Amino acid sequence: MKEQEAGLYPLPWRGFGGFIHATTMQKQEEILSEEDKQIQQEFEALVQDYLATNHRKKVELITKAFNFANAAHKGIRRRSGEPYIMHPLAVARIVVNEIGMGSTSISAALLHDVVEDTDYTVEDIENLFGKKIAQIVDGLTKISGGVFGSQASSQAENFRKLILTMSEDVRVILIKIADRLHNMRTLDSMPPAKQYKIAGETEYIYAPLAHRLGLFRIKTELENLSFKYEHPETFKMLEEKLAVDEDNRNRFYQEFSKPIDEKLREMGYKFELKARIKTAYSIWNKMSKHNIPFEEVYDILAMRIIFEPKPDMSEQSQCWMIYSALTSIYRPHPERIRDWVSTPKANGYEALHVTVMGPGGRWVEVQIRSVRMDDIAERGVAAHWKYKTGETDESELDKWLREIKEILKHPEPDAIDFMDTFKLNLFASEIFVFTPKGDIKTIAQGASALDFAFMLHSDIGFHCIGAKVNHKLVPLSHKLDSGDQVEILTSKKQKPQPEWEDYVVTAHAKARLGEWFRRENRRTAARGKQKIAEILAGLNLEMNNTNIVRLLNHYHIVEPQELYLRAGQEALNLDDIPKLFKPKGKNVFTRYLKLFGGGGGQDG
């Protein structure tokens, strides 16, 4: 028997006569081929996913990227024990299925860890796959380290790197989010300390980024997974409560949805009704925010109506028609209507949310969306571009991305400042305000009249003297509320004042003011330097290092730049200079004494 088996494998070790070895090797071969099959299956699933999309069918490119990555990661395993390539494959599937991107991004996702983890370089990738894919892989490699290092400054620097890379090509960040999502889904195999760190980073950086990019579903999952690892006990408790409640919930949903289903059919719509269950994280959020027990969170169950719009009417009107059909069945809550149809959110989200009273007096939120709106809500940016016709206005999302790029063109010299400024905008939610002409504008919550001025135009910001909010005169620092009508007042004579930096919260206004003050300081310093040079010239002295150091010591200033600036601001008494440089022994002697502790003598 053993003879026969071994005979199937005419391998060199047979010569050593070790049949026990033979059996071991054979098992290994079986495992390997089983794994190869698993890898192959996953790749074929990816290709199927891709072929089911509307993208061009560039299967060859994807196959090439897969073969290359597969060979490069050969023999390497993830901590979970599975072959490494299963990770890039999973990331690529998220990229196509959950974000909706095409062959370039899929290939970059397959290759995303090759440069980081193997001996291949970005140049190798460029030679084989071209510049674009190489650039994306390069971006992903640059931000591969954790955002949170051990020191505050390196965290900030990494965060800035992340955002800089993102601004070069938004696909970098989309693939990075897919990468993070898969790592979060498989976080179980990591040691707890690492789980905690990765979960924190996800909650702090990646969930808000996903939110900003309109990847609503992914954002929700990232938050929920972070919560799972940061508060494992609470998470488990809530999951159990949700499971217990499931049968009840299903029965209720059946009863609630039946008349809606009938009514929409009657109206001749093609549609889908979906039950949406709140995640443990979002239930917990609500419980802690309103200080209520699980049983009092009434919107655990929500319903989504996704309809195919009829051709001869705007999607917006059809949302409202469905709204009135719905509210003819169930009574709406008067204060719980959210219209993201007339005014989409800054991240591109569109839908009509209404809360109605269902059977047994239970409040249920219903979200009304067209197929297109649903696609945008689920997949964010990628879907957004898919529907963009070119003639339409720049979307809020495009505006946001443009603003980020603008900020990055003039980055703050201090990375921590930059991070704070940026984070502020990442986390802030928006309010709506109106211009005197009735145009609606979106701006960060907590924004002041001055922020709004800067949003209209930098020059309006620089020359802003005040504003009229709802026809009443207010100061620059006045905080705006949603629905305010805002008119900005300007004067040519006005210019930015130092305290303005405390009045603004938006990254845009902060960046513009920062730039202005830096430019102004440069001018003032140049003036100051000129003044000092003139005084020195009058004393027949040169503007050399020795003389500058003497001035610095005299005024107790460390940096020459600071000296020039303060001279320019007329904050220094420059009449000191001739005295200081008077070539008299007495002066030198006094300084000599001072230098060596002549007055105190404590050094003995």
Which stretches of the chain bind Mn ion, using CB under 5 A? Answer: 113, 179
Q: How far apart are CA 278 and CA 295, in angstroms?
A: 13
Minimum Å gap between C-beta 95 and Mn ion is: 12
Residue 12: C-alpha distances to residues 16, 18, 510 (Å): 8, 11, 71
Measured from the CB atom, the residue of 143 and 476 that comes closer to Mn ion is 143
Mapped onto helix, strand or coil, the DSSP state of residue 29 is helix
Mapped onto helix, strand or coil, the DSSP state of residue 74 is coil
Strands of 270-277's sheet in order across: 270-277, 301-308, 363-370, 352-357, 331-339
DSSP class of 301: E
Mapped onto helix, strand or coil, the DSSP state of residue 331 is strand
* Amino acid identity at 500: W
Measured from the CB atom, the residue of 104 and 141 that comes closer to Mn ion is 141
Minimum Å gap between C-beta 60 and Mn ion is: 24
Q: Which residue has the tokens 């719009």?
A: 309
Mapped onto helix, strand or coil, the DSSP state of residue 486 is strand
Minimum Å gap between C-beta 141 and Mn ion is: 10
Beta bridge pairs of residue 276: 302
Minimum Å gap between C-beta 124 and Mn ion is: 18
Minimum Å gap between C-beta 116 and Mn ion is: 8
| Close Cβ partners of 518 (under 8 Å, ≥ 6 residues apart) | none
Measured from the CB atom, the residue of 186 and 485 that comes closer to Mn ion is 186
Q: Provide the annotated active-site residues.
A: 116-117
Residue nearest to Mn ion (CB): 179
Minimum Å gap between C-beta 69 and Mn ion is: 11
Measured from the CB atom, the residue of 225 and 352 that comes closer to Mn ion is 225
HSE-CB for 465 with a 13 A CA cutoff: 6
H or E element in which residue 178 lies: helix 170-185
Measured from the CB atom, the residue of 112 and 529 that comes closer to Mn ion is 112
Measured from the CB atom, the residue of 86 and 346 that comes closer to Mn ion is 86
- Torsion, Cα 99 103 106 108, to 10 degrees, reads -120
CB burial string 241-265: b at 16+ within 10 A, e below: bbeebeeeeeebbeebbeebeeebe
Measured from the CB atom, the residue of 113 and 124 that comes closer to Mn ion is 113
Minimum Å gap between C-beta 112 and Mn ion is: 6
Q: Which residue has the tokens 């040169």?
A: 542
Q: Which residue has the tokens 């023999």?
A: 75
